[in-house]
Structure formats: structure tokens, C-alpha cells
Amino acid sequence: MRQFVESVQMTRGKPASGERPRTRIGHKLILSFVLLVMAVVGLSGWVLFELTDRSLERQMRDHLVSVATLVSTKLSGSVLPYLHEGREHSTLYRNLMLKLQRAEQGVGARHIFVFDREYRSLLDTDGLMPIGREYPKLLFHRRELERVWRGHTAHSVLFYDGDIPYMTGYAPIFHDGEVVAAVGVEIGAGFVDSIRVFGRSVLIFAGLGALLTVGVAWGLARTLTRPIQKLVEAAREIGRGNMNQEVATASDDEIGYLGETMEEMRRKLVARDAQLRLMLGGVAHEIRNPLSSIDLYAGLIAGDLPASDERKQHIEKVIEEVRRLNGVISEFLEFARPAPAQPQPTELAPLVANAAFLLAPEMQSAGISYEERVAPDLVCYIDAEQMERALVNLMKNAVQAMRDGGHLTVRATVVGDEVVVEVADDGSGMSEEVQARLFEPFFTTKEKGSGLGMALVARAVEENRGRIEIDSRQGEGTVCRLRLPQSKDGVLWAGF
């Protein structure tokens, strides 16, 4: 599987390869606030809704019972036994109906009806139930009516006639101390509409509360995450080796304390790094001086010996190893005392040609064919010296990976505002483990080598605001890809 291994030093604001994605603390904070407010508003709204519903329903029941009792007092139980089937046109029936209709209008009832203990109709303001016909709906109110027959008032539960809610209140009608009939009063439950309006108001309030919470949480999250993000960027800069940027935080809380601790750590790292660089530079300098003397005197000895003398070959081997060691020391010095990049518009083709010229003897002796595909007018905004050394390192690694011959290709293309330079070989390739550690200082898989070459390449690319990517498979070769800026701050250089 193809795997791009990007140097940690090259990656800005992105997780390194293999690092699991992380959620933002701001998102967690907003979600926590919204869930908390929604839970509080929802629970409070539900409690208020239930309390209001029960209160209004209780008031409705009390009102129904009062109205039913009032209507029952206007009816005399002594005359109701005279209401028989077929007497709907009698004067008694019309007078009683007139009373009920006036009461219905006076109290705003939906329906008033009178019935006997067998649930048969005696009076009905709708005029649809003749005397003596049984009310089927009263069968559902048997439990409530049992209280009425014992001389108490009662009421039904909330019912719906289509979409219209209503309740019925019942009151007994007495004659000589006995319950002879009962009156039922149906009134529309208008409080249901109020409850619905209240429920909608709760939902609207919850929605507005959620929106307000999101806004407040977003503001708090930005206040909290901004200094954290700055600390993250500062930590990344330290990880890239940029120790010159001060870790500054304006917070006076725990985040500020963390920032102060990080700044103290940075200063100590800078001091320790300076000491290490000074020590490396001193050690390299002390070693280089005798090496230079050895190189000089060995050259003099080799010059005095005839070509046929076997000792001359030994001396030349000493000179070769001394110069290789001198190259290693040069890498140590470059790593210990890096020079800041001085980028400027630079033609890329001459740098690639110079690197190929330096490595031509090695490519020829290893039987490696070379192909260069770089446009002569291709310009990058880079430090020419640093990038030429980086190209030499990359191409040298490619040559060393093809000891039995092969093909080396260097090509460059423009992608957006970047120049993509690829150094491709068909050598032995690299394992995933090697790719993961490729840019670590002093890591090497060679018998002879300092392990600083790729670390110096990575640092040079970073200093020039670029990126480096590796695409490699074992047995199939390697492609080292440099993404270099074509311009400074997005301004292309034309006619250079």
C-alpha cells in the first residue's frame, strides 16, 4: 500500500501519520452547554407543562361540577317522573327544556341533558334524544355515575369529539331525599388550546435557549481554545526545532501558567541546545585539524611513491577514508551550526544539473542511467545553496540504493503555487519502519554514514517553507518529493 511519510517538521496544523483524529475542545464545550441547557429547559418545560395542565384541568372539573350543581337546583325532582315517552309536546317538557336552554346559554355549555337511573333520556338540549331513549355514552361513565347515584357530584375524563376536547360534569337531582335523576353538563375544554399554546411557547423558548447557548458557548470556547491553540502552535514550533519563537500567553489562569511553564522549558531547551551545538562544533573542529594534517602528509607521501608501489594504494585508501570522515564532520558542523535560509527567486535547473555533475562518477561506476526533466525557466523562491545540498543528498541516497545499476530520474512540475521536484529511483525501496524514522537525526541503515543527511534535507526544506514526502515500497524503488514555494507570499516571479 502506498504510504506517504511526511516529516513531522514539515506538517503544520495536521496530525502526523498514524495519529488518531482528535475532536476539538470547543466542540465538546458547545455540545456540553447545549445538552445541559436543553436538559434543564426540557425538564423545566415538562414540569411546568404538567403542573399547568393539571391545574387547568382541576379548575375545569371544579367549574363543571359547579355548573352541573347549579343546573340541578333549577330542576324539581318531583316533576321528572311525569316525563314519559311521547310527552315531548307537553307544556311541562317545553318549560323544562326552556330552562335548560337558558342555562346552556348562560354558562356557555356545549350540551345539557337529564337522565334517570336507567340512563334513559328525560331532557336533552340537542333535541336529538327523545324521552326514554338510552344514552350509550353513559355506559363508559358508570364509575363516575355510581358516585352520582350515591348523592355526590362527579365528572368525566377529557374526551375528544373529533378534534374538539370536552368534559362532562354530573350532579344528582333529589326528590324526598332520594336521587331520582341526574343532570349532565358538557363544556368544551378550552384549556387544552391554552396548553397547546403553552407547549409551543416552551418549544420556542427551548429553541431560542439552544441558539443563545450555542452563541455563548461559542464565545467561551473561543476564549478558552485560542490560547490553547497558540500553545499547540508553539509546541509544534519547538518540535520542529524552532526555538526562537517565544511562548507568550495573555491568560492569568491555568492556561497562562501552562504557557509560562512551556516558555521556561523553551528557554532551557535553547540553552541546552546551544551547549550541545557548541560542544559538537568544538569536537568536530578538534578532530578536523589533525585530519587535515593527516590528509596533507598522506598526500605528500603518496606523491613521493611510484605508481607501482603497493604502499601507494594503502596511502590512497587512507586519504579516501580521511576525506569521507571529513565529510561526516562537515555534516556534523552543518547540523550543529545551521545557517538561516536566504530565499530568493532561483532557477531550479542549474541546481539539479550541478548535483548530477557532482554525482556523475558514482552513477557511472554503479552503472546507473540518469534522466533529467526540469524546464530551464522554472523558478522557485528558495535558498540556492541549501537546496542544492538537499538535492545532492537525495540523489546520493538514490544512487547508493542502486548498487547493481538502475535508473535515476529527476523531474519538476508546477502544481498550483508550488514547484514539485521528484527524485525517483528503482532501487531496493524502504520498509514502513525505516520511512517512519527517516528524518530522525543520526538514524541510518548504512554501514558508513552519519545519519544526518535526511535530517539536513528536512530542515533545509522547512527553512524554505516547503514540504517533503516519501513514496516507497520495498523492492520497487523510492520517490522523494519536494514541494517548494514558487513565489514569496503568493507573488509569482516572471521574467527572472
**pLDDT by residue (tens digit) across 195-253?**
667 667 777 777 777 777 777 777 777 777 777 777 878 887 777 667 777 777 777 77
Q: Is residue 67 part of a domain?
A: yes
Query: What CATH number is associated with residue 97?
Result: 3.30.450.20
Query: What CATH number is associated with residue 435?
Result: 3.30.565.10
The whole-model pTM stands at 0.47
The domain total for the chain is 3
Task: Report whether pLDDT(15) > 50.
Answer: no
Contact 362, 425 (CB under 8 A): no
Task: Report whether pLDDT(109) > 70.
Answer: yes
Whether 52 and 169 share a structural domain: yes
Whether 407 and 489 share a structural domain: yes
- Boundary of a domain, candidates 337, 353, 385: 337
Q: Is residue 175 part of a domain?
A: yes
User: By mean pLDDT, which of 103-112, 140-149, 154-163, 305-314 is the weakest?
Assistant: 154-163
Q: Is residue 201 part of a domain?
A: no
Q: Is residue 206 part of a domain?
A: no
Instruction: Kindly state the cell numbers that stand for 314.
Output: 594503502
Q: Which whole-number Å values give the CA distances from 343 to 95, 391, 400, in the listed order? A: 111, 16, 30
CA distance 178 to 181: 9
pLDDT value of residue 450: 65
- The conformation of residue 4, written as its DSSP 8-state character, comes to B
Instruction: With H, G, I as helix, E, B as strand and everything else as coil, classify residue 408.
Output: strand
Task: Report whether pLDDT(17) > 60.
Answer: no
Whether 277 and 319 share a structural domain: yes
pLDDT value of residue 10: 37
Residue whose C-alpha cell reads 321528572 in the numeric block: 80
Q: Is residue 33 part of a domain?
A: no
Closest CA to 146 of 168, 113, 170, 176: 170
CA distance 183 to 175: 14
Closest CA to 75 of 178, 172, 177, 176: 172
Whether 356 and 276 share a structural domain: no
Whether 365 and 468 share a structural domain: yes
Which of 18-32, 107-121, 181-195 is most confident? 107-121
Whether 377 and 255 share a structural domain: no
Q: Is residue 209 part of a domain?
A: no
Closest CA to 171 of 103, 88, 81, 84: 103
Whether 332 and 274 share a structural domain: yes
pLDDT per residue over 128-186, tens digit each? 888 889 988 888 888 888 998 999 988 887 776 666 677 888 999 998 888 989 999 88
Whether 347 and 322 share a structural domain: no
- Boundary of a domain, candidates 337, 360, 392: 337
Count of residues in the chain = 496
Whether 453 and 410 share a structural domain: yes
Q: Is residue 227 part of a domain?
A: no
- Boundary of a domain, candidates 162, 195, 228: 195
Q: Is residue 444 part of a domain?
A: yes
Residue 468, judged by CB atoms within 10 A of its CB (0-12, 13-18, 19+), counts as: buried
Task: List the domain range (segments joined by +) for residue 410.
Answer: 342-496
- The distance from CA 130 to its chain's CA centroid, rounded to whole angstroms, is 73
Up-side HSE of residue 292: CA atoms within 13 Å toward CB? 8
Query: What CATH number is associated with residue 314?
Result: 1.10.287.130
Whether 391 and 303 share a structural domain: no
Instruction: Kindly state the cell numbers that stand for 334.
Output: 552543518
Whether 494 and 349 share a structural domain: yes
Residue whose C-alpha cell reads 395542565 in the numeric block: 53
Whether 186 and 285 share a structural domain: no
The terminus-to-terminus CA distance of the chain in angstroms comes to 41
pLDDT value of residue 353: 92
Kindly give the pairing relationship between strand 418-425 and strand 491-492: unpaired
CA distance 313 to 290: 21
pLDDT per residue over 391-437, tens digit each? 988 998 888 888 888 999 999 999 888 999 999 998 888 888 888 88
